Structure 1
Amino acid sequence: MTDTTTFPDPVYKDTVLGPLFDHARHDHAEGFRRIDRAHLVVLHHTGILPTDAAAQIAAALVEIDRQIDPNALTYTGEVEDYFFLREAELKARVGADTGGRLHTARSRNDIDHTLFKMSLKSRLDAMLAEARALLSALIDTAERESGTLIVAYTHGQPAQPTTFGHYLSAAIEVLIRDIERLQEARCAVDLSSMGAAAITTSGFPIDRQLMADLLGFAAPQRNSYSCIAAVDYITASYSAVELLFLHLGRLVQDFQVWSSFEVGQIYVPNAFVQISSIMPQKRNPVPIEHMRHLASQTVGRARMMKDIMHNTPFTDMNDSEGETQAAGYSAFEVGNRVLRLLAAFVPALRINDDRVAQNIDRACITITELADTLVRQEGISFRQAHEIAAQTAKAVVAAQQSLAAGGYKPFRTAFRDVVGRDTQMQLAGFAEAVSPAYFVQVRDRFGGPAAAPMREAIAAYRTALNNFEQTAQEHAAQQALDTAFTALMETR
């Protein structure tokens, strides 16, 4: 029979405690080290811990970090988890009384959430750096391609001509907002839980601001109950991650369609193409598929984190801790691969100008500007102009001709049928009105694809990129902690 009186039960050890221990030593060993050292500095600074005891503990912590490699540890069940292993090692070196004093005015509750925030913040910073690099690559490419014509689609059908730069600018604006959402989520993460203890802070005169400063947080989180119960720092972060990759996935899907043989709007260079093992003529732009499915994986993993938080009690709970945190980190690992690949892929793309020109001619997608020009030049209503344009397009498509080459004659007929008089527009004027270059040129309103609004847009995007903060907060905090901890060592 299984011994049910001795902790831990072997099955519980293998299924829960062992994996939790492994996650902690792998993901949070450095966090434990920093929290122990910072808390020791604060205990001494506030007079809670006398100098001699603080110095003994400091020396022991250094010894523990030098002698014990977290990566080499195997969970044995002798202690409950990684925290208690460190505490046991400390007591073994300085005695139970002195070693036990380090835990004054703190709890596993505030330690855990602070650990999770430290790890999450570093991952958000890494993703923000990758997102900024992608944003920079998109802006450069949009500027380079600001005059390159493409077919814009709506409902899967050719709609109007625009430029590749104008299209990318739309994606740039979404990415800017996604980065802003990531940064806003980071603000929620950047609040230290230390000092909340189990729930209600402590009767000891702990300095929560100093603790936050030493750990590189912007500030302590105010309400102590919130420090251990509010998981909005998790839901906000993964919501922002989910939206980022949901939006990027739509861009990637367009590249999949545009690179198809039938559409052929973009050319993917050989560096991003794999050849079929049996069909030598096939150029497979498989990085597009990898970006799409990896973006979907990231969306799914981020959404999972929000689902885990659903219908949980508003208190400290295991649902938001340990293995849940470890499961969520994979969203950052996979998502960063997508960001790096996309930042290399987009600048390498080229537009197939000949295929774009063919598709524009075949689809009559400049016909909207013919109607607009008629309103301006002929003084007729848009509805009349729209009817004339529709009849012209229908005749051209039926005759299997291009609008530019064969549209003028049916246009004159349609104009006479609708308006009851001959048009004043000559062949040269008609050719200009239905040209894709003219279509783009006259759309020079704010946000349009013409040269002037595109220059203004690119400048605005570069300003947004430059304004995104790249904080040195973590490095400065680490230096401050090292200085204060070293000072304690020198008091021995």
Structure 2
Amino acid sequence: MTAKQTWSQRFESALHPAIARFNASISFDIELIEYDITGSQAHAKMLAHTGIISPSEGEQLITGLEQVRQEYRQGNFKPGIDAEDVHFAVEKRLTEIVGDVGKKLHTARSRNDQVGTDTRLYLRDQIHQIRQNLREFQTVLLDIAEQHVETLIPGYTHLQRAQPVSLAHHLLAYFQMAQRDWERLADVYRRVNISPLGCGALAGTTFPIDRHYTADLLTFDSVYANSLDGVSDRDFAVEFLCAASLIMVHLSRLSEEVILWSSEEFRFVTLKDSCATGSSIMPQKKNPDVPELVRGKTGRVFGHLQAMLVIMKGLPLAYNKDLQEDKEGIFDSVNTVKACLEAMSILLQEGLEFRTQRLQAAVAEDFSNATDVADYLAARGVPFREAYNLVGKVVKTSIAAGKLLKDLQLEEWQQIHPAFAEDIYQAISPRQVVAARNSYGGTGFTQVKQALITARTQISGES
């Protein structure tokens, strides 16, 4: 038995059942149903407003569409594969409710501009939600950072001990990444918020529609100036997936650090039972599943971005069925980003605890204060490159002797260079090393405290 066709009488036979299943998108684009209804209501109002249909017909369409919405919300409307896509499903149910007037809804509209409108309406809402998720994530980072302004943690370059930093400063780096994500999504939103409704299949329509009227009803900022571009543009989807990918990059970097910090080799944090799991055979283990999953899920969002780029790179104008493939990647990326932001916020707030004593010991057991020795000499007139070479030799001999810089006697310092005095010990203490870096944006405690105030003001003053 072949599947019943849903399009014109141009075709003499229906689709093969397997091809019908292959062709259908209802299994995933049902996600757009409420946006499809909202867009259709705006279209019906415009048709009545311009006299293309009568006011009473417009009211019937709007009321009937609202009934479809309520039926869906109540679980009484569950379109199947025979509907092909969400647009046909809604129109078919509408016609069952209001009769033949329902067949007028698609006047001056194509599924091409319809799906573009639906997708933009959906993505607008999701961008708002993700930005709120980012704000919640930033708030958690600030809450923790405010508790750890004077907690020191080793800073790394090349994953080698470099210089100690304030733990708050370290966390604020992720706050700044999230702030860029928040701002980037606002920029993406501007290009999402352009209406393609009224572009038709590709060339506009012969009916006297008012595209700006529907754009205003749907609170779009503007309309596409070219109908070909309007139905085929997916730049906004690519941009969103780029922004989503960068959010995941930032979450994955933090995840990697949490994974390292929780290892026995680092022991910087303790994972709490609420956000960790155990091993099926090794009873001593506590696994960092949350950050590992976030790190792993990052790849799927990258994959959706790559897939979208590949879909678009060879498409001639205007609409092509390939574009049906945009939605699953967008939907999954939205869900993945929101879930990962929520999970990381919970992990940071409730699932781990910084081991401050271990951190204090960590910053005192290495040579990450070597730069401060060179700075000490440079501040006393020794050319920095000369000071740098002297300190390099000191580090080399100290390692050979099994000593740290703090273990050297004053006589040993003065044998290296007569500029050294008793205050060298204060200068190379971890706390002073951090406090001294008081340049704007640095890890000095004064700078970090001001950065926290600025960050609080930033997220409370921006919507």
Q: TM-score, normalised on structure 2?
A: 0.89
1:442-484, CA deviations, whole angstroms, 9 ceiling, x for partnerless residues? 1111011112211222233233323443xxxxxxxxxxxxxxx
| 8 Å contact from structure 1 (residues 362, 397) kept in 2 | no
Matching of residue 394 in structure 1 with residue 401 in structure 2? no
Indicate the RMSD between aligned Cα atoms, in angstroms. 2.6
Change (3 A) 1:229 1:409: same
Matching of residue 73 in structure 1 with residue 79 in structure 2? yes
Per mean C-alpha deviation after superposition, the further-off stretch among 5-14 and 54-63 is: 54-63
**Residue of structure 1 equivalent to 2:446:** 452
Matching of residues 47-446 of structure 1 within 5 Å: 47-62=51-66, 64-65=68-69, 72-76=78-82, 81-91=85-95, 96=100, 98-321=101-324, 323-348=325-350, 349-377=352-380, 379-406=381-408, 408-415=410-417, 422-426=418-422, 429-446=423-440
| 8 Å contact from structure 1 (residues 360, 366) kept in 2 | no
Change (3 A) 1:11 1:53: same
Per mean C-alpha deviation after superposition, the further-off stretch among 59-68 and 151-160 is: 59-68
Change (3 A) 1:398 1:251: same
**Cα drift, residue 424 of structure 1:** 4.8
Amino acid at match of 1:72: K
Higher relative contact order (CA 8 A, sep 6+): 1
Change (3 A) 1:423 1:66: closer
Per mean C-alpha deviation after superposition, the further-off stretch among 39-48 and 2-11 is: 2-11
| 8 Å contact from structure 2 (residues 181, 247) kept in 1 | yes
Alpha-carbon separation, structure 2, partners of 1:101 and 1:278? 65
**Cα drift, residue 240 of structure 1:** 0.8
Q: What is the aligned residue count? A: 453
Alpha-carbon separation, structure 1, partners of 2:411 and 2:266? 29
**Cα drift, residue 213 of structure 1:** 2.6
Amino acid at match of 2:88: F
Alpha-carbon separation, structure 1, partners of 2:261 and 2:318? 50
1:388-446, CA deviations, whole angstroms, 9 ceiling, x for partnerless residues? 3222222222222232233645323322xxxxxx34512xx121011011111111110
Change (3 A) 1:59 1:466: closer
Amino acid at match of 2:233: A
1:22 pairs, out of 23, 27, 47, with 27
Structure 1: runs of 5 or more not aligned: 416-421, 470-492
**Cα drift, residue 247 of structure 1:** 2.5
Per mean C-alpha deviation after superposition, the further-off stretch among 64-73 and 363-372 is: 64-73
1:104-132, CA deviations, whole angstroms, 9 ceiling, x for partnerless residues? 22221111100111222222222221111
| 8 Å contact from structure 2 (residues 365, 404) kept in 1 | yes
**Cα drift, residue 267 of structure 1:** 3.0
Amino acid at match of 1:462: R
Q: 1:6 aligns to what SS in structure 2?
A: coil
Alpha-carbon separation, structure 2, partners of 1:330 and 1:408? 63
Amino acid at match of 2:393: Q
Q: TM-score, normalised on structure 1?
A: 0.84
| 8 Å contact from structure 2 (residues 41, 61) kept in 1 | no
Amino acid at match of 1:74: G
Matching of residue 34 in structure 1 with residue 38 in structure 2? yes
Alpha-carbon separation, structure 1, partners of 2:134 and 2:181? 9
1:303-329, CA deviations, whole angstroms, 9 ceiling, x for partnerless residues? 3333322222232122223x4302331
Alpha-carbon separation, structure 2, partners of 1:66 and 1:163? 54
**Cα drift, residue 277 of structure 1:** 3.9
